[in-house]
C-alpha cells in the first residue's frame, strides 16, 4: 500500500542545512517527520564539510557567508523555518553569541525564522531547567574538550565521554555502532549528577536510542538531530506531538 503523502500545496515545510559528509541527518529527520503523521515536510540543502576539527581549515567551512548562501537556497522553496543542523557552534571556539548572530544573519537574508542546533540545545536545556549536564560525543579527546569548554561557560559538566579511538572521519562517525553510543551515553549519566545528557553531533545515529535510554537512565537526553527538528517545528509553529523520540519531542511541541 502506498504511504500517505503530505499535500505539497498546503503543507508546512522546515528546511535544514546539512554538512556534506553527513549521512545521518536526513534519514533520521525524515523518520521523525513521518512519525508526526501531519501535513508537514522537511527539505534539505548541503554545505561542504569534509573535516571535523579545530584547525583553521575545518572551522573556516562554517563561515557566515556560506551559511547565508545555503539558507537562501532553501528560501527558494519558501519553508516556514530554516535550521543549521550542525554542532560547529559548540567547538569552533566562537561562543554562543556567534550562533545567535548567525541565526539573525540568515533571518535577515531570507526573511524566514532561523536557528541552529547549538541554539536549540541551549533552549531545550532552559526548558528543562538544566544546570548540570553530562556530555557524550563521537569526537577525539581534543574536540570533546572544546565541547565541554563551550558548555562550562554557563553550566556545570559532571562527566564528558568521547569515543576512544574516535572515528577518523565524519563518514566514520555515522557508522558508529548503537552499542558504542549506548555505552557513551550511559557513561555520561553514570554519576547521577547530570539533569540531562547532551549527545552532541548531528552525524551520530543516537536519536533512535533517546526514548530507550531516557527510560533506563531516568535523565533527559538532548540529541543534536532531535533538538534540531524540535526547534524547526517550533519555529514553523507546528502544533502536535511526536512519540518515540524522547521527552523533548513528546512534551514540548
159-181 pLDDT tens trace: 999 999 999 899 999 999 999 99
| Residue ranges of domains in the chain | 12-117+226-251, 121-224
Q: Return the pLDDT at 2.
A: 63
Please name the residue that has the C-alpha cell 569552533. 92
**Which numeric CATH code is attached to 121-224?**
3.40.50.1860
Q: Return the pLDDT at 240.
A: 81
Domain covering 12-117+226-251, topology: Rossmann fold (3.40.50)
Exposed, middle or buried by CB within 10 Å (0-12, 13-18, 19+), for 129? exposed
Residue 27 phi, psi (nearest 5): -65, -40
In CATH terms, are 12-117+226-251 and 121-224 the same topology? yes
Q: Return the pLDDT at 91.
A: 87
Q: Return the pLDDT at 150.
A: 96
CB 160 within 8 A of CB 138: no
Q: What is the pTM of this model?
A: 0.95
What is the distance, to the nearest Å, from the Cα of residue 106 to the centroid of all Cα atoms in its chain? 18
Whole-number Å distance between alpha carbons of 41 and 5: 9
Which residue ranges of the chain lie beneath pLDDT 50?
none
55-67 pLDDT tens trace: 676 767 879 999 9
Closest CA to 113 of 218, 250, 18, 238: 238
Q: What is the DSSP annotation of 148-164? A: HHHHHTTSEEEEEEE-S
Amino acid at each position: 500500500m502506498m504511504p500517505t503523502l503530505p499535500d505539497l500545496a498546503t503543507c508546512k515545510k522546515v528546511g535544514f542545512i546539512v554538512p556534506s559528509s553527513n549521512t545521518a541527518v536526513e534519514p533520521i529527520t525524515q523518520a521523525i517527520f513521518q512519525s508526526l503523521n501531519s501535513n508537514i515536510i522537511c527539505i534539505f540543502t548541503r554545505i561542504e564539510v569534509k573535516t571535523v576539527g579545530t584547525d583553521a581549515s575545518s572551522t573556516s567551512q562554517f563561515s557566515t557567508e556560506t551559511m547565508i548562501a545555503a539558507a537562501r537556497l532553501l528560501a527558494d522553496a519558501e519553508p516556514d523555518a530554516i535550521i543549521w543542523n550542525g554542532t560547529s557552534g559548540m567547538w569552533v571556539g566562537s561562543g554562543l553569541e556567534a550562533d545567535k548572530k548567525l541565526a539573525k544573519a540568515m533571518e535577515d537574508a531570507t526573511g524566514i525564522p532561523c536557528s541552529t542546533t547549538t541554539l536549540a540545545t541551549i533552549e531545550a536545556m532552559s526548558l528543562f531547567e538544566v544546570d548540570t549536564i553530562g556530555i557524550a560525543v563521537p569526537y577525539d579527546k581534543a574536540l570533546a574538550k572544546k565541547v565541554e569548554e563551550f558548555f562550562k561557560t554557563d553550566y556545570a559538566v559532571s562527566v564528558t565521554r568521547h569515543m576512544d579511538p574516535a572515528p577518523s572521519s565524519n563518514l566514520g562517525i555515522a557508522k558508529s555502532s548503537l552499542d558504542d553510543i549506548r555505552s557513551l551515553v550511559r557513561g555520561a549519566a553514570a554519576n547521577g549528577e547530570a539533569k540531562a545528557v547532551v549527545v552532541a553531533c548531528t552525524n551520530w545515529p543516537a536519536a533512535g536510542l533517546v526514548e530507550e535510554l531516557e527510560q533506563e537512565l531516568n535523565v533527559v537526553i538532548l540529541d543534536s538531530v532531535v533538538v534540531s527538528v524540535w526547534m524547526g517545528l517550533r519555529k514553523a509553529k507546528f502544533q502536535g506531538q511526536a512519540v518515540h523520540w524522547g521527552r523533548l519531542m513528546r512534551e514540548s511541541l
